[in-house]
Chains A and B, each alone.
Chain A
């Protein structure tokens, strides 16, 4: 009975589907999170009679053949990198990218990770760091006695220092873009890593050459659509039940067979 195994592949695939959906729902309020989607593909086919093969010496051909599929597999789980909604928080170090591009984050081992989550902080040395304490690239240090920090749409960071009349420019936030966003590797903590599939990053200043604008005092919310996730969850659960039904039916057929004399 192939149908027993086919039902099992279906249950496995739907389990993956539920796992992906539950991760999306769990991250519905994670800033900068991009929803994922599981994509399924049919498995190979067993050709019991190949379509187009000859069925007689006179050259008559089998119209459609007999091909029996072997079930389903998870083809890919990919991220949908659409823009999340931007909400105002009022915090001067909360920055959101409106458009394409990732913030670059320097990891302790010297490599660069990429993130869309812009809830930045200051560390003890006055450096602008992510919520996990990793410095933003290129590095930006806010001098002491700073009263306000202003980040404009092009990523220029200006500070107003106590006792000075003119604002002082301390640096420039740069963004990175990838040829293929979907090829980035997720490493957790809202961060992504470059892979051969994503291509090499192109670094540039915000608001020009197709890079997104920087919005100060705002955060990008996750792009998870909860209503869509709940309906997908219902579909996945029903599909799971129906695949288990396939297994039960196959089992009943086998049991009828074994009860035969």
Chain B
């Protein structure tokens, strides 16, 4: 008897969650290295009786759009963008974390650090220290940092078997138990940053769509409520 309302409720809940994800995408439209997300819904079949079944909707997962964001020029010599699949490795107290955000700087010990002061790791997993006499810092397409003819180190770029498995921690950081392997076929661009890959038009239309669907679901709930009320009042008269 209540099934219609339950089906409508399952949709209303998932729509709210979809709206949350869309809102987070729009809020991070200008966040360096951000990847847009979308929910994945599946059908959940409920069988209250052997000869009876109805489907609910369930949000099963959030998927990241792993396509590259547009690369914009900043002119800062320590801003680097990755072209291709790969992540920078950062050293934190809780272990190595990975990021796509390449807005690096130097700390007072001349270590190369990412936003938040986390040291950037090289291809052997050690922090990179830029010597005091190094002036014009040059970062090559393979991540090799040099000053003049002197090679200082190489920024480590890592890839993983399944990037969707990586947990997001905020601040652009990802965590994973998968083994990191050195990424090939990636190009490092110095003086550029990877922008967020959120497509604002898609998000706007998604939001309109969510809004309308939400209104439809509310209408459905209302109609169902009216139907039940009529049924009850008619049945009461018969009794």
Contacts and interface: CB of A to CB of B under 8 A. Distances in A.
Interface of A: 1-4, 6-7, 9-10, 13-14, 17, 37, 39-45, 47-52, 62-72, 75-76, 78, 80, 82, 100, 179-180, 182-183, 196-200, 202, 209-210, 225, 235-236, 238-239, 242-243, 245-246, 249-250, 252-253, 256-257, 259-261
Interface string B100-128: 01010111111000011000000000000
A102 to B, nearest CB: 15
A9 B211 contact: no
B22 to A, nearest CB: 7
Contacts of B167: 45, 47, 50-52, 65, 67
Nearest to B171: A41
B207 A40 contact: no
Contacts of A62: 60-61
A82 B62 CA distance: 40
21 contacts: A39-B103, A41-B101, A42-B168, A42-B172, A48-B17, A51-B166, A66-B60, A71-B24, A72-B24, A80-B76, A179-B106, A179-B110, A179-B132, A183-B107, A196-B108, A199-B109, A236-B30, A239-B26, A239-B30, A243-B26, A253-B210
Contacts of A180: 105-108, 110
Given A7-B27, A260-B221, A63 B165 contact: yes
A21 to B, nearest CB: 11
A239 B203 CA distance: 12
Nearest to B200: A242
Which A-B residue pairs are the 6 nearest by beta carbons?
A: A10-B27, A3-B23, A199-B108, A69-B24, A6-B23, A44-B170
B9 to A, nearest CB: 11
B92 interface: no
A209 B132 CA distance: 10
Given A45-B170, A66-B59, A10 B29 contact: yes
A178 B75 CA distance: 20
Given A75-B171, A246-B23, A68 B17 contact: yes
A88 B237 CA distance: 98
A206 B110 CA distance: 22
A183 B110 CA distance: 11
Given A246-B27, A257-B218, 5 more contacts: A40-B32, A42-B24, A179-B108, A236-B30, A239-B26
B45 interface: no
Interface residue range, chain B: 35 or more
B27 A197 contact: no
Interface of B: 15-17, 19-24, 26-32, 34, 37, 39-40, 59-64, 74-77, 101, 103, 105-110, 115-116, 132-133, 135, 164-172, 177, 200, 203-204, 207-208, 210-211, 214-215, 218, 221-222, 225
A184 to B, nearest CB: 11
A64 B40 contact: yes
A17 B16 contact: no
Contacts of A179: 106-110, 132
> Which of A17, A200, A260 counts the most B-chain CB atoms under 10 A from its CB?
A260
B27 A72 contact: yes
A3 B22 contact: yes
